[in-house]
């Protein structure tokens, strides 16, 4: 049986060398277009697909390999006498090795000036058809979609004259993952183009960024995948400058810190522990902001994750160096700051482009046997229908404080209460089963600083007990969604103590 290899690739990295090795092993090389040219220029004999099919490429190259003389060679069972008889009858040569990768759809739609026409033309048809046919017939055909596998195939062919069954099956599985991801990306692009908000099927694809040592706990296996062409402003696209490998919990906590620091335009610092903020500060510069975040809870920040939205300078680095931290993420670090912080060998230092693409994405949450999809909670005060529910309106300073609290509280696990002033959080009550419980935790954590502070609640007060607890502690203004059937009782209690209370009409549950 004549040995034949079909090679047609967009990614030509290493393909000429691969073709040369196959030729030296006795394979006839069949190819198309630019791939054929690259192989020929490397001095390797190659014949065109049109020479095999007897039919020219047509429709601007849209139809090249969609032909029984190609697909019959890909799908024939070499050990089936009836298949062999049909191949002989129709003068179809079997193809033992297929090397195909696809039109660069992802790279095309990543271009900022891409047109719909360019995107559509980069949807490969013949490539996936050849890959799927070869992968289906992997018992007889070796199919290669990734240049990283060239060496494995050549080594086995040299040593055994065949590629073993286990390797062919692994290569076929990679093909189906590759074509599924390719189609998922096209489906997502077309769904967005058609403005379908809730398609009947949700197709998503992610690329492995790293294998993790373990998950939330050492007995759980875990991996970290990132979304192709996802938001640049993401932990998935961070550059690690220093420190040991990120863990599952590190990644989750860093993402939580980033989501909070995104809320601020001015210099801001966020400290996170176990997916909840433990200290948030804004200031005149990044040192001032971090100093306030640290002062907000100097106990809980130990072993925490820090997100900063300005370059870390030497002054800030010196203060950061004094504390045991897991991760610091920022737009950049000065040379002096890096030198200071790299003295701690395990401290991870990460950068991401804070001015990068902040595209809106869906938040996907897995449940056993299913998936929940929702928009990220990006709703801000500027979009809310704010009303002052009490007799007294907030002062200007209270307004600034209420705005800060509202930015933070939506990132705290429900039930959530934040006590703060205009510069920093003072106490955070997270994840309690009743709201007054969260309020008591936040008030206790704020200590003496609660006097004159404000309070933010992620959802309405079902009773007036939270308002009373706040007033007795010395809080002067509250921001909350409103909407309880007992709102009036809370309003009356606030008026009784002279508190200002603002309703936003929007809740921020976070589970």
Residues labelled as active-site residues: 136, 274
Helix and strand numbers (H, E) in the chain are: 18, 21
DSSP category for residue 195:
T
What ranges in 76-222 are assigned the alpha helix state H?
Answer: 81-89, 105-109, 116-121, 126-136, 150-160, 165-193
Q: How far apart are CA 233 and CA 254, in angstroms?
A: 12
CB 381 within 8 Å of CB 370: no
Q: Which residue has the tokens 């482009």?
A: 353
Q: Which residues contact 278 (CB under 8 A, 6 or more apart)?
A: 271, 272, 296, 297, 300, 301, 304, 428
Eight-state DSSP code of residue 344: S
The answer to whether residues 417 and 409 touch, using CB atoms and an 8 Å cutoff, is: yes
Contact partners, residue 184, CB within 8 Å, separation at least 6? 203, 204, 205
What token pair was written down for 494? 């606030």
> Quick count: other Cβ atoms within 10 Å of Cβ 198?
7
Query: Do residues 244 and 342 touch, judged by C-beta distance below 8 A?
Result: no
5 closest CA partner among 22, 25, 17 = 22
Return the closest-CA partner of residue 254 out of 299, 289, 295, 224. Answer: 224
Longest dimension (CA), the chain: 97
**DSSP per residue, 356-383:** S-----EEEEEETTEEEEEE-----GGG
Reduced to 3 states (helix: H, G, I; strand: E, B; else coil), residue 464 is coil
Integer Cα distance of 471 and 496 in angstroms = 9
d(CA 358, CA 58): 41
């Amino acid at each position: 049986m004549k040995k034949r290899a079909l090679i047609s690739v967009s990614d030509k990295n290493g393909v000429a060398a691969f073709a040369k090795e196959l030729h030296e092993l006795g394979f006839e090389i069949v190819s198309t277009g630019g791939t054929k040219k690259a192989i020929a220029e490397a001095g390797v004999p190659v014949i065109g697909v049109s020479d095999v099919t007897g039919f020219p490429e047509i429709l601007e190259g849209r139809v090249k390999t969609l032909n029984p003389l190609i697909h019959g060679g890909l799908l024939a069972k070499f050990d089936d006498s009836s298949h062999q008889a049909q191949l002989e009858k129709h003068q179809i040569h079997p193809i033992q090795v297929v090397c195909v990768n696809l039109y660069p759809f992802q790279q095309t739609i990543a271009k900022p000036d891409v047109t719909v026409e360019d995107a559509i033309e980069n949807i490969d048809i013949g490539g996936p058809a050849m890959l799927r046919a070869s992968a289906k017939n992997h018992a007889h055909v070796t199919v290669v979609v990734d240049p990283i596998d060239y060496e494995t195939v050549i080594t086995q062919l040299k040593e055994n004259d065949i590629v073993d069954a286990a390797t062919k099956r692994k290569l076929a599985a990679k093909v189906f993952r590759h074509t599924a991801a390719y189609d998922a990306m096209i489906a997502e692009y077309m769904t967005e183009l058609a403005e379908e908000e809730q398609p009947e099927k949700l197709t998503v694809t992610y690329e492995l960024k790293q294998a993790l040592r373990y998950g939330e706990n050492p007995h759980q296996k875990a991996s970290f995948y990132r979304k192709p062409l996802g938001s640049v402003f993401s932990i998935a696209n961070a550059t690690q400058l220093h420190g040991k490998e990120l863990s599952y919990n590190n990644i989750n906590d860093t993402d939580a810190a980033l989501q909070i620091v995104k809320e601020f335009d001015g210099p801001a610092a966020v400290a996170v522990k176990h997916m909840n903020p433990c200290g948030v500060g804004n200031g005149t510069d990044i040192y001032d902001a971090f100093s306030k975040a640290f002062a907000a809870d100097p106990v809980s920040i130990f072993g925490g994750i820090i997100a900063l939205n300005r370059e870390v300078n030497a002054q800030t680095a010196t203060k950061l160096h004094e504390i045991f931290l897991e991760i610091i993420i920022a737009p950049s670090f000065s040379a002096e700051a890096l030198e200071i912080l790299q003295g701690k060998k395990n401290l991870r230092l990460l950068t991401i482009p804070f001015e990068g693409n902040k595209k809106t994405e869906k938040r996907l949450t897995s449940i056993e046997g299913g998936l929940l999809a929702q928009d990220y909670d990006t709703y801000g005060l500027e979009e809310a229908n704010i009303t002052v529910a009490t007799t007294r309106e907030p002062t200007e300073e209270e307004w600034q404080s209420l705005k800060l609290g509202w930015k933070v509280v939506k990132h705290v696990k429900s039930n959530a209460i934040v006590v703060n002033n205009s510069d920093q959080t003072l106490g955070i009550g997270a994840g309690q089963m009743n709201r007054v419980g969260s309020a008591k935790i936040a008030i206790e954590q704020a200590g003496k600083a609660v006097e004159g502070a404000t309070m933010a609640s992620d959802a309405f007060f079902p009773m007036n007990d939270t308002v009373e607890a706040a007033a007795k502690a010395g809080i002067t203004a509250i921001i909350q969604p409103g909407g309880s059937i007992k709102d009036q009782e809370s309003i009356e209690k606030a008026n009784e103590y002279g508190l200002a209370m603002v309703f936003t009409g929007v809740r921020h549950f976070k589970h």
